[in-house]
Amino acid sequence: LKLEYLFPTGSFKDRGASLLISKVGELGIKEVVEDSSGNAAAAIAAYCAASRITCHIYVPEATSFGKLTQIRMYGARLVKVPGSREDTARAAFEAAEQTYYASHYWNPFFFQGTKTFAFEIWEQLGWEVPHNLIIPVGHGTLLLGAYLGFQELEASGMIKKIPRIFAVQSENCCPLFRIFHEGLTYLPQIAKKESLAEGIGIARPLRWKQIIEAVKSSGGTFLKVSEEEIVSSLRELSQQGFFLEPTSAAAPAALGKLINRGLIHSSEVTVVPLTGTGLKVADKIASNILDPSGKY
């Protein structure tokens, strides 16, 4: 387990945001637009605050209260968009015509930041590559960053082989899983259902071809996990002392499946990131996962 939720803003998105906003500052840009389900927005807003860059954040109306409060305190201009995650993306995209789009999935500099995930794993394992990575995937910001990082290590001759990448989606929103297993050559229209894993609830991932290609060429595969599996994994992790947002529980939930199916051996080194803190989504956790009687 790699504790990616211990970054200053509470998720791995600090990796990408710190690099992207440093670049934005270097270019002399004073105002940016971003849209996100919450974590990327919080990270972009924080690094913009630190760099005195005005930041307009578009989020879906249903975004967790903790994330909204955090974004507002960083001084960002928050725009709540009614409707789906995709409606939010459209609104931000239009706004971005007037300014700079500091998007965590459009902007390539974001991935240059998340690739540090690969370098850090390599360093922390004593300059060795793990056999497997299990990564939750929506727009693929962590997955593509990790792939890029390991590719660079391979190209420079520092490592011999890229780890196998197992990509995890929520059963309620799994376009990439379908493309991979049904052999589709297009992005399917899916009827997305609400999922507690809000961070990966992306019906139309922009870089779907790159994500599929990365997983395929690494020798990995795609898995999907149900809401029940996410909840049960989240509970179990909490009761081991890790308080996480539900999205973070998707990848650990897949680990057992991979071992059961013989795709991963327990003797292998497998890295599973825990991507975001539960403190951001206390409202959703309390109402969906804890005993609502509030007895304790």
The contact set with a second copy (CB under 8 A) reads 3, 6-10, 42, 46-47, 49-50, 65-66, 68-70, 72-79, 235, 238-243, 277-280, 282-283, 285-286, 289-290, 296
Separation CA 238–CA 256 (nearest Å): 17
Q: Which is nearer to a second copy, 167 or 274 (CB)?
A: 274
Q: How far is the CB of 77 from a second copy (least distance, A)?
A: 6
Q: Which is nearer to a second copy, 79 or 259 (CB)?
A: 79
Q: How far is the CB of 167 from a second copy (least distance, A)?
A: 26
Cβ contacts of 186-192, under 8 Å, gap ≥ 24: 192/84
Cα-Cα-Cα-Cα torsion 193, 72, 111, 10, nearest 10 degrees, comes to -80
Q: Which is nearer to a second copy, 260 or 293 (CB)?
A: 293
Q: Which is nearer to a second copy, 152 or 227 (CB)?
A: 227
Q: Is 136 left (phi over 0), alpha (psi -120 to 50) or beta?
A: beta
Q: How far is the CB of 4 from a second copy (least distance, A)?
A: 12
Q: Which is nearer to a second copy, 19 or 223 (CB)?
A: 19
Q: How far is the CB of 73 from a second copy (least distance, A)?
A: 4
Q: Which is nearer to a second copy, 65 or 127 (CB)?
A: 65
Query: For residue 168, what are its two tokens?
Result: 């995890």
Q: How far is the CB of 278 from a second copy (least distance, A)?
A: 6
Q: How far is the CB of 141 from a second copy (least distance, A)?
A: 20
Separation CA 290–CA 296 (nearest Å): 10
